[in-house]
């Protein structure tokens, strides 16, 4: 069983892509709707919330947990992997959604920590993300280690994830997206990025709005597709974490919030009706 954790509904875009690509696996999704969104919370609080919910998924039987929240992955993933996991769950693994995106934009595998030889033409990579993800500097740091020729420009998008989570009107979302794109382009003195990373899984729902606000030809990386492909590759290389679903197994979704409210909003992210349940005690 594979766990998928997100602060709210955004990770359902990752779950949908993973199920489409790997229909024979069983997933358990946990949304921390009671504390969503994470983007404006202090780093230590984000870490503790993430650690606690990953622990719950492990105790529920998951052998591998994917942090399908860019903020949680940016703040907590490395610390979980290096300090908590070896002591608490040495036989389990935690992955994050940043890795496949960094690998795609740099064209360098994650395990490579120094740039390959050769001179590359400079390119501009724009990152739209929550304030916490931007402040963590995880994206520019990891990209810079592997591809220093890439010029990384970040733009925080306060409240965008929260507006998406609460089903704001398209006009409201379009206005916010246009404003954030304009701010980013002002940082480039009116220039145009070569590639764009939508560094929040919620933003997959407004990808078209970003495409409309950006000049034609800008490449927007699709995080759900990249993460699903990377997860499938990881399971192929680490079969000990790849347990096919049985005939009676089903994907289950849990929430720390109100199951009825979570269920009502889930279809917009998942593309189909999916039911949330209350998180069992423990």
Residues identified as active-site: 69, 200
Residue 4 and residue 29: Cα distance in Å, rounded? 5
Partners of residue 28 on adjacent β-strands: 3, 252
Q: What is the dihedral of CA 268, 271, 274, 278, to 10 degrees?
A: -40
Asked if residue 198 lies in contact with residue 214, where contact means CB atoms within 8 angstroms, the answer is no
Scanning 62-148, the segments in alpha helix (DSSP H) are: 70-79, 85-88, 98-106, 131-136, 138-146
Give exposure, 92-114, as e/b (b: 16+ Cβ within 10 Å): bbbbbbbbbbbbbbbebeeeeee
As a whole number of angstroms, the distance between CA 40 and CA 48 comes to 15
Q: Exposed, middle or buried: residue 136 (CB in 10 Å: 0-12, 13-18, 19+)?
A: buried
Question: CB–CB of 77/100 below 8 Å?
Answer: no
How many other C-beta atoms lie within 10 A of the C-beta of residue 262? Answer: 24
Other Cβ atoms closer than 10 A to 171: 8
Cα dist. 52→57, 59, 256, 270 in Å? 9, 11, 12, 25
Collapsing DSSP states into helix, strand and coil, what is residue 93?
Answer: strand
């Amino acid at each position: 069983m594979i766990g998928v954790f997100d602060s709210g509904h955004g990770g359902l875009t990752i779950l949908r892509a993973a199920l489409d690509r790997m229909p024979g696996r069983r997933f358990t999704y946990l949304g921390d709707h009671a504390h969503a969104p994470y983007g404006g919370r202090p780093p230590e609080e984000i870490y503790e919330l993430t650690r606690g919910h990953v622990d719950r998924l492990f105790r529920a039987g998951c052998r591998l947990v994917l942090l399908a929240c860019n903020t949680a992955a940016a703040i907590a993933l490395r610390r979980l992997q290096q300090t908590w996991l070896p002591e608490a769950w040495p036989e389990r693994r935690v992955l994050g959604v940043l890795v496949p995106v960094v690998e795609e934009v740099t064209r360098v595998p994650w395990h490579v920590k120094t740039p390959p030889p050769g001179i590359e033409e400079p390119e501009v990579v724009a990152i739209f993300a929550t304030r916490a993800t931007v402040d963590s500097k995880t994206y520019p740091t990891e990209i810079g280690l592997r591809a220093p020729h890439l010029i990384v420009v970040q733009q925080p998008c306060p409240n965008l994830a929260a507006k998406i989570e609460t089903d704001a009107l398209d006009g409201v979302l379009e206005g916010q997206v246009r404003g954030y794109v304009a701010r980013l382009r002002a940082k480039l003195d009116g220039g145009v990025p070569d590639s764009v990373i939508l560094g929040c899984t919620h933003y997959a729902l407004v990808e078209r709005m970003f495409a409309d606000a950006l000049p034609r030809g800008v490449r927007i990386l699709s995080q759900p597709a990249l993460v699903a492909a990377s997860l499938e590759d990881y399971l192929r290389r680490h079969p000990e974490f790849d347990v096919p679903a049985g005939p009676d197994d089903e994907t289950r979704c849990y929430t720390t919030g109100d199951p009825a409210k979570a269920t009502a909003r889930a279809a917009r992210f998942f593309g189909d009706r999916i039911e949330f349940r209350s998180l069992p005690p423990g």
